Structure 1
Amino acid sequence: MKKKVVLIQDNKDILDIMDQVLEEEGFAVIPSLTTKTIEKIDEIEPDVVIIDDHIQGGKKGAKVIEELKSDPNTDEIGAVLTSTSNNLPQIAKECKANDYLQKPFDINHMIDVVKKNS
């Protein structure tokens, strides 16, 4: 069975590239430009959530991860924070993310991070 990835990014081009690469790697990807997908997390039951820290008109990615990690029903889901922020390692640690991807990132590194955390 394919591992499920909820992919939330603020940039459609980045979302499309990540979606395509992960699909080619054999993941079932649920892509979104908003955090609305998180409201259906119990139905989706993803193995990993990859979320950008700066989502337009939504919660910060770090806040979403913090909420996932503090809920016993979702704390086992792998969580990867993405951002261009120089403070990303610190932000990821504070929200209890499993890992992070500094933008711009290398595609092979992204694949490794997703595989490691799913």
Structure 2
Amino acid sequence: MKKKIVLIQDDKDILNVMDEILEDEGFDTVASLTTEPIDRIDDIDPDLVIVDDNIKGNKKGSKVIEELKNDPETEELSAVLTSTSNDLPRTAKECKADDFIEKPFDIDHMIEVVKKNA
């Protein structure tokens, strides 16, 4: 069975590129420009969530991950934070993310991080 990934990015082009790459790698992705899939996390039941820290009009991705990690029902869910921020390693650690992907990202590195955490 395919591993399932919730992919939330703030940029449509980046979302489409990441979605395409992950599908090519054999993952089943739920891609979104908003945090809406997080509201359905129990129904989706993903192996991994990848969240951008700067989602327009929504709470920060680090806050989304922090809430998932602090909820007993979702604390075991693997979560990866993405951002262009120089503080990304610190932010990822503070929100208890399992890993992070700096943008602009190297495709091979992104795939490696996803496979390690999914």
Same fold (TM over 0.5): yes
Match of residue 17 from structure 1? 17
Match of residue 34 from structure 2? 34
Q: How many residues align?
A: 118
Shift of 1:63: 0.1
User: Any unmatched runs of 5+ in structure 1?
Assistant: none
Match of residue 5 from structure 2? 5
Runs of 4+ aligned structure 1 residues displaced above 3 Å come to none
Match of residue 67 from structure 2? 67
- Using the size of structure 1 for normalisation, the TM-score is 0.99
- Using the size of structure 2 for normalisation, the TM-score is 0.99
Q: How does 1:48-87 map to 2 (within 5 A)?
A: 48-87=48-87
Q: Provide the C-alpha distance between the structure 1 equivalents of 2:111 and 2:77, rounded to a whole number of angstroms.
A: 17
User: Any unmatched runs of 5+ in structure 2?
Assistant: none
Please report the RMSD computed on the Cα atoms of aligned residues, expressed in angstroms.
0.4
Deviation by residue 1:50-95 (Cα, 9 ceiling, x = unmatched): 0000000001000000000001111111100000000000000000
> Which amino acid is 1:70 matched to?
N
> Which amino acid is 1:85 matched to?
S
Q: Secondary structure at the match of 1:50?
A: strand
